[in-house]
Structures are given as C-alpha cells and as structure tokens.
Structure 1
Amino acid sequence: MSLTIDDLKAQNMILFECISGSRAYGLDTPTSDTDIKGVFYLPKERFYSLQSDYIPQVSNETNDIVYYELGRFVELLLQNNPNMMELLATPADKVLYRHPIMDSLKPDWFISKLCEKTFAGFANSQIKKARGLNKKIVNPMEKEKKSLLDFCVVFSDGKSINLQQWLEKNNLNQRQIGLAVMPHATQMYAMYVDDGNQDFHGIVQKETTNQVSLSSIPKGMNPVGYLSCNLMGYSKYCKDYSDYWDWVENRNEERYQTTISHGKQYDAKNMMHTIRLLQTALDIAKTGKVIVKRPNRHELLAIKAGQSDYKTLVKMADELTIDISRAFRDSNLKDEPNRKQVLEQLVKIRQYLYS
C-alpha cells in the first residue's frame, strides 16, 4: 500500500520540511517555482513488515514536492549525495518544520572527501551533457532518414561518384544492380547491370536494411563498376539520428526555446547549476561546510540569462575542477563519513520514534 503526502501530514510522520531549489540557493526570480523537500519516517508496523513494503520516498505528480524516508535520507547522506547534503544544510530561513530529533544528525558527520566525486563529478557529467546539447543544436539532423545507399560510392572509369548520382546519371534503379564480393577487399563489391534476363537482388532489398544484398552473377558478365559501402559510417549515422530525434521528442520545449532565444547554443539554466555545484564543491574543500545560499547571485543569474558564451563557461568549469581537485587534496577532511557513528545514531532515532 502506497503513501501520499496527505498521509504523511495526517499521521504526523514528517520530520523535516524545507524550501529547496532556486529559492534556497538565493537564485529565485519572480517566475520561479517553489520546490519542497523533506524527511519522513514510516510507521512502526510498516517499517518492521515485509521489505517490499518499504517506501524510500513520497512525492507529488510533478516531483516539486519530495519527502525521503529517514533511512533513505541517511543512506544518501553517507554517499555524500549533493541533494541530501544541501537539504541537511538548508538555511534556517528556508526551513518550514524541523523535529528536534533531526538535530542529532550532525552535518560534520557526513562532510568528507567523497564530496569531490559527488558534487564535482555530477557537475562534470552535466558539462558532458551540455557538450552533447551544443552538438545537437549546432548540427540539426533532417527528419527524413538516410538509407544505406547514401553511404555507398561507385568507382568507375577511374573516378569515384556517389551511388545515387551514378544511378541517376546512368538512368538505372538500384534494383537492377547485382553485387558480387571482391576477394580480399573489405566492403567492396563488383557491380553488374541486369540485362533483362537476370533476377538480381538489387543493392538493398529494403530501404531500412543495414547490409547490401549479393546476387548470383552468370559467368561472362562484365562489371560496370565497383561499389564501396561505408557500413561503419551508416551505423554511426543511425545512432546519431536516433539520439537526435529521441532528444527532440523528449526535450523540455520551453527550456529549448529559451536556449534558442538567447542564441548561445547551450541550456543556460543547466549550466548555471553546473557552475553552482562546482563552486559549492570548492567551498566544501576549503571550509568544510555546504553553503547552500550562494553569495554570487548576480553572476549565476547572468549565466542563466545566457550572458556568457559556451566556450567561456566550459573553460570556467574546467578551471574550477582543477581548483577543486587541488583543494580536496590539501584539505583535512576525512576520506568518507563515519558510517558506524551515523548508523548508531539512526538506530537511536528509530528507537525514540517507535518508543
């Protein structure tokens, strides 16, 4: 049986509730949504029942309100998950409710050098996505998909020519062509033209095929040319085509149009949060604290508005990553959270809640 947010509130199971996202970061604008994150605990009978009954999180349909079960919250904190580390460090003015028992989970127990991997690592994965987005925007693909025939070249009379052009020039259809393998030559075929008495299979039997067809060639027929088929090129094209049109179908159209409108060819909101994550990681290495509310609101909102070019931001991210690596190497932070101490405290919290 599932739980809803109304269930959590009706049964007083919420332990921690905060305003999160841009409003917590100090990066909100008049159009910003209000995101809520929090922590709840399962009723005793649910927690001690079948493992399949365990509910790690409860959210609304749009996922802008999410509550994490206490055990899941602690598990993610031990992994130095950025979202959970920021949730635990939420500024006091953004905390809507905090059960006193939550004070027993000390932020210092969790901060460790793992944050370099989780904060900076996630940020750099976003940079990789940004590069992919930039590539898609700069190199749009035609909706009409090419066929294998478009990746074939004919060698004839000492010259090379695109297959489709060669067929048109010789007033031929690809189905009139018979192919025979050229010994000791990779993806190279001898081409023969049906004289009306042959039953050649053509170069391809279907437009969607990923391989050429071979025909039985009668003895004595002379080739009209030689065909080279770039199968690897076609395979890469098919993957790129699929990736591109999947992206078009699933992209956030509002954010895409914003990206197009500022003309910088990157997702500005994503890049803003990428730089924010990297700067937060650098703070952790230098101060040992997760600083949720960012002191450079103007700079970050300028990035969101598309006031920086793509290459400048990627360079900025690369330089921050180098600084972060150096700062974590020189820091006195522990290598990882004190798992034993944290889990002992989690047991005490459970015992208190279920007493």
Structure 2
Amino acid sequence: MTIDDLKAQNLILLEVISGSRSFGLDTATSDTDIKGVFYLPKAQFYGLDYLPQISNETNDIVYYELGRFVELLIKSNPNILEVLASAPECILYQHPIMKQLTLDLFLSKQTKQTFAHYAVSQIKKAKGLNKKINNPVEVKRKTVLDFCYIIEGTQTLPLNTWLATHQLHQQQCGLANVPHARDLYALVYDRAGINGYHGIIKHLDSTELCLSSVAINTPINAYLSFNRDGYSSHCRDYKAYWQWVDLRNEQRYASNVDNGNDYDAKNMMHTIRLLQVAHEIMTKGTLTNKRPNREALLAIKHGELSYAEIMLIAEKLVSEIESAQATSLLPDAPNRENAMATLVAMRTRLYES
C-alpha cells in the first residue's frame, strides 16, 4: 500500500504540515514536511497485512495507522503529540472523527521523560558531532601493527619503529604467548626465513595477531605488547566517522563549517525547542507548536551562539523542567483505558460506515 492508495481509497483521517513550518521556524530553504493518520480497510486490519505506517522515499511525508498513532500518543512520543497539537492553519485535512482524540487525553508528566530525554540524546549526538568535526579521522585505517609495542626495559617503542630501526620484517617474526600475561607475546625472528613463522599479522586487514610454533629454548628477540582495547576503540571510531561522512547532509555540514560551527546548528535549534516545549507542558499543561521566540531559535540555527553557550541554555532548561515536574498538576501518565476505549469507538464507527 502506498500514499496514493490511501488517497484513492479515502483512508486518510488527518493530514498536517509538520516540522519547521509548523513551529514557525521555516526559512527560504525549508522543506515542507507532512504527517498524517490513516486507517486500514477492515479486511486488512483483521487479516495478516497490518501496516503501522506508510511514508515516501525521503521520509518527509509519513502517515501512521490509527492504532499506531494512538499507541505512540500513549507513549508520549514528541513527534506524534506535535501532530495532535497542530494549529488550524497547518491542518490540511481532518476527518470529523479525529476530534475525539484531544491533547488532554495524552498530556502527562511522562512527557518530561520523552521530550527531555530525546533532547538530551540529541545533545549527546551534538557532542559526538562536535568531536567528529574537530577530530577528523584519516581515510586510511590504522592496522593492528600500529597498536603493537616492543618493551625495552621500562619503556615501550612502537613496533613499526623498532622493525625499521633493526631492518626487520614483520613477516619473518614469530609470536608465542606469554603465560598469564594478557596480550603479551614473546617475539622471535627468523632472519633466514626457514622456520615457517607466520609473521605478526597475515595481511594489513588482519584484526588479530598470528601465533607461531616456536621451539623451546629459541632465543627471544623482544617482548611485544598489543594494545587490543586501543585498536578496538580505533575501529569503532573509524567506522562511526566514515558512516557519518557517508550519511551526513552535505549542505548542512558545509553551512556549519562555513559559519565556523563545530556542531549541527539546525539540530541544536530543535533540541532547545524541544526542551522549551517540555517546560511549557510541565508548567502550563498544554502544547503549542508555533514558538514565540522564533528569532532566538533561528539565531542558534544560524550559528550565532557558541557550542558552550547552547549547552548552558540546555542545562538550565533541563534543571527547570525537573523542578516544574515536581509541582505539575498533570497526571503521571496518559489514561490508557480511556485512550483505548476512544480508539475502539473510533474504529467501530469507521468500519460501520
């Protein structure tokens, strides 16, 4: 089933403009995001072809099946609550039955957790981006050899340096475990290449060291220590960095760099917005999508605040949300029974018509 199928079969119950335009934070380059609600035909709902949501290829148009929509409302999902809170000018279509789903059924202290928790996760993401921008990873990944060291007295020397100094080749080395010593190996060298040693690694892409069969009483040339944890950390960072490079929005990235930002400015704007909305819910018991402080939020998007300044704003808001929750008159969580009863009544009416 596609979005065109939903429209052709009159299955759409709600369609709204979402994202920056609904928050009053759109600029000349902003896309128009659409979110909505649909219901499945009776046979498909009761059968084996339940679809929780349908979207276009770019995921900027998303429709949620009625049951899934209510499920996410009960969980206080920020994106879904914002759909329900859509201002009249952002509603493109609304079936009369959707008026049965009202914000008061779903706003609760639980939104502190979902809104603020999500915002904090975005702050952590921003910190990760900050690290990526300021600490780019080389295209060439380091090898196991780069994390091996030769022990010389109380000092260590990088293996590659030691090999070069002594004009040795890693392929002619043999390694043997040192009992009761994690990642410590006895290294022997076969200058004539007749002992069949396997070398330190088989090839540059190897992720483990090679062990060789070393005869008893063979003179030990050196002891090698492998920084396994450092190598694993490098591999994780390398993978994460280049995945980010592959997936990043180049236009946004270029804009951040051009403005001297070491964070995703647009993402941080929405993080602060989410925290402000969470505070509004806790103190006023309501949710308004369109923000009254457009210029202040756009200043963040345009890179006019430093990373440190944004962190201070975020930390202050988190603290204020914690305090507001303690005195909020909202229920601890949405009334699941009332929400489910409303959903059943809505679906019954839809399938009877």
1:219-258 matches, within 5 Å, as 219-258=216-255
The 3-state SS of whatever aligns with 1:84 is helix
Matching residue of 2:260: 263
User: What SS does structure 2 have at the residue aligned with 1:354?
Assistant: helix
Equivalent-residue separation in structure 2 for 1:107 and 1:157 (angstroms) = 71
Deviation at 1:217, TM superposition (A): 3.2
* Structure 1, 190-199 or 75-84: larger mean CA deviation: 190-199
Which amino acid in 2 is paired with 1:336? Answer: A
- The structure-2 alpha-carbon separation of the partners of 1:171 and 1:341, relative to structure 1 and needing over 3 Å to count, comes to same
Show CA shifts across 1:36-80 (max 9, x none). Answer: 212222233333x31x22222222222222222222111111111
Q: Against the structure 1 CA distance between its residues 27 and 204, is the aligned structure 2 distance closer, same or farther, given a 3 Å change threshold?
A: same
Q: 1:100 to 1:173 in 2, by over 3 A?
A: same
Corresponding position of 1:13: 11
Are positions 1:341 and 2:338 aligned together? yes
Tell me which of 94, 108, 127 is aligned to 2:123: 127
Distance 1:160 1:342, change over 3 A: closer
Q: 2:96, 2:155 → 1: CA distance?
A: 82
Partner of 1:199: 196
Question: Is residue 2:312 matched to residue 1:315?
Answer: yes
Match of residue 27 from structure 1: 25
Q: CA deviation at 1:33?
A: 1.2
What's the CA shift for 1:148?
Answer: 1.0
Letter in 2 for 1:11: Q
> Cα deviation per residue 1:230-285 (whole Å; 9 max; x = unaligned)?
11111111121111112212222222222222222111111111110010000000
Per the TM alignment, residue 347 of structure 1 is displaced from its structure 2 partner at its CA by: 2.0
- Alpha-carbon distance, 1:158 to partner: 6.4
**C-alpha root-mean-square deviation of aligned residues, in Å?**
1.8
For the residues of structure 1 that align with 2:113 and 2:150, how far apart are their CA atoms?
Answer: 51
Q: Cα deviations across residues 183-234 of structure 1 (Å, max 9, x unaligned)?
A: 4433222322214143222222222223322333345543232222111111
Aligned to 2:136: 140
Letter matched to residue 124 of structure 2: K
With normalisation by structure 1, the TM-score equals 0.93
- Partner residue of 2:279? 282
1:159, distance to aligned residue in structure 2 (A):
4.7
What is the Cα deviation at residue 157 of structure 1? 6.5
Instruction: Tell me which amino acid in the other structure corresponds to 1:43.
Output: P
* Partner residue, 1:82: 78
1:167 aligns with 2:163: yes
Tell me the distance in 2 between the aligned counterparts of 1:79 and 1:286.
20
Deviation readout 1:81-109 (Å, 9 max, x if unpaired): 11111111111121122222222222111
Comparing 313-322 with 117-126, greater Cα deviation is found at 313-322
Q: Which 10-residue stretch deviates more, 190-199 or 236-245?
A: 190-199
Residue 61 of structure 1 aligns with an amino acid whose one-letter code is E
Question: Which of 189, 206, 209 does residue 209 from structure 1 map onto?
Answer: 206
Contact kept in structure 2, 1:127 and 1:274, CA below 8 Å: yes
3-state SS of paired residue (1:178): strand
Report whether the alignment pairs 1:43 with 2:41.
Answer: yes
Q: Moved runs in structure 1, 4+ residues, more than 4 A? A: none
TM-score under structure 2 normalisation? 0.94
Greater shift in the superposed pair: 153-162 or 342-351: 153-162
Pair 157,328 (structure 1): closer, same or farther in 2 beyond 3 Å? closer
CA shift, 1:346, in A, is 1.8
Percent same amino acid at aligned positions? Answer: 53
How far residue 128 of structure 1 moved from its aligned partner, in angstroms, is 1.2
Q: In the alignment, residue 274 of structure 2 is paired with which amino acid? A: L
For the residue of structure 1 that corresponds to 2:175, the secondary structure is strand
* 8 A Cα contact 1:210 1:231, kept in partner: no
Counterpart position of 2:89: 93
Number of residue equivalences: 351
Structure 1 counterpart of 2:175, one-letter code:
L
Separation in 2 of the partners of 1:46 and 1:222? 75
Amino acid corresponding to residue 23 of structure 2 in structure 1: Y
Q: Distance in 2 between matches of 1:219 and 1:46?
A: 73
Distance 1:54 1:160 in 2: 62
CA distance in 1, matches of 2:188, 2:105: 76
